[in-house]
């Protein structure tokens, strides 16, 4: 009985999970290709260098300066593009999961209907709200009605069945919200590490220029130090954006989870209180 409400939604959730996985699989290589194209054809355009000489000319603007960061730059740029794309994707998915209205207001409405014993109105409100929170609550309300008509179980068994239904419905909805967050969390670390790799490469070139016979090549030295600093800045910047976005999404998911837990607890308590003497 506890699994009945969740069966129709399982194929839909699996389909959503597959679509999200396919999205991630396509996004990563596309971002890398786009970053390489931007590095070569936009940042590396001769118009950004004095005399139009990409090899020996000094950069005239920010684009040329970033291009001087070397081969690590397009890799870090691809990380930044991934952060942007997955941020947009997560905003869309979590926004849909929240539903059409304010989640806190929705929870208060449901609690009000539960207090008045109007289960049908609460279920209708779920249809209006839509989203993951509403889906879980509607599943619980459906189970609530089923348990009212169940003659073979006592109140404790019925309450446990409703609680189990809420847990199963939540288990179906939550993974969809957390998908691709791992990628954003990973970019936090590899953004910094890749920037550090670019820094090390730049410093190796700087010390190579210093160790050259005769007078040090100041042009090569300054170019190498510039490369190191550019990669450091890009790596740290990408990681900082990733951290902020990861925390934003984690906070949003925690808010939805709390709303589900709060409303689910109200449903269970309402059932137990209204049927304890039956």
* pLDDT by position in tens, the chain (length 278): 334 444 444 445 556 667 777 888 899 999 999 999 999 999 999 999 988 888 888 889 999 999 989 999 999 999 999 999 999 999 999 999 999 989 999 999 998 998 888 888 999 999 999 898 999 999 999 999 999 888 888 888 999 999 999 999 998 888 888 888 999 999 999 999 999 999 999 999 888 888 765 666 777 888 889 999 999 999 999 999 999 999 999 999 999 999 999 999 999 998 888 877 65
Q: What pTM, to 2 d.p., does this model score?
A: 0.84
Cα 20 to its chain centre, rounded Å, is 11
CB 169 within 8 A of CB 135: yes
Long-range contacts of range 225-229, CB-CB < 8 Å, 24 or more positions apart? Answer: 226/65, 226/68, 226/69, 226/202, 227/68, 227/69, 227/70, 227/198, 227/201, 227/202, 228/198, 228/199, 228/200, 228/201, 228/202, 228/203, 229/199, 229/202
Distance CA 16, CA 35 (A): 28
Residue 82: what pLDDT?
A: 96
Q: Which residues, listed in sequence order, are joined to residue 59 by a DSSP beta bridge?
A: 49
Tell me the domain boundaries of the chain: 4-275
For residue 93, the tally of other CB atoms under 10 A from its CB is 20
Q: Please give the biggest Cα pair distance in the chain.
A: 98
């Amino acid at each position: 009985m506890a699994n009945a409400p969740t069966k129709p939604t399982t194929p839909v959730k699996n389909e959503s999970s597959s679509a999200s996985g396919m999205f991630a699989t396509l996004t990563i290589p596309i971002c890398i290709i786009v970053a390489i194209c931007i590095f070569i054809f936009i940042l590396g355009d001769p118009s950004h260098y004095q005399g139009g000489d990409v090899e020996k000319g000094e950069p005239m603007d920010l684009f040329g300066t970033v291009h001087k960061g070397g081969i690590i730059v397009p890799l870090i740029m691809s990380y930044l593009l991934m952060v942007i794309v997955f941020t947009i994707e997560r905003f869309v998915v979590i926004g849909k999961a929240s539903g059409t209205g304010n989640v806190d207001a929705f929870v208060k409405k449901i609690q009000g209907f539960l207090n008045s014993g109007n289960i049908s109105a609460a279920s209708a409100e779920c249809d209006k709200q839509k989203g993951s929170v509403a889906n879980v609550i509607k599943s619980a309300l459906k189970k609530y009605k089923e348990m009212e008509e169940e003659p073979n179980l006592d109140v404790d068994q019925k309450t446990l069945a409703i609680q189990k239904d809420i847990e199963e419905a939540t288990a179906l909805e939550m993974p969809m919200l957390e998908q691709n967050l791992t990628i954003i969390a990973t970019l936090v670390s590899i953004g910094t590490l890749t920037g550090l790799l670019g820094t090390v490469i730049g410093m190796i070139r700087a010390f190579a220029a210093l160790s050259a016979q005769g007078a040090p090549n100041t042009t090569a030295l300054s170019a190498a130090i510039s490369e190191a600093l550019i990669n450091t800045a890009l790596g740290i910047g990408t990681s900082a954006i990733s951290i902020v976005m990861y925390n934003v999404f984690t906070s949003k998911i925690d808010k939805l989870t709390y709303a589900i837990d709060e409303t689910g607890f109200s449903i269970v308590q309402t059932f137990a209180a209204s049927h304890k003497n039956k």
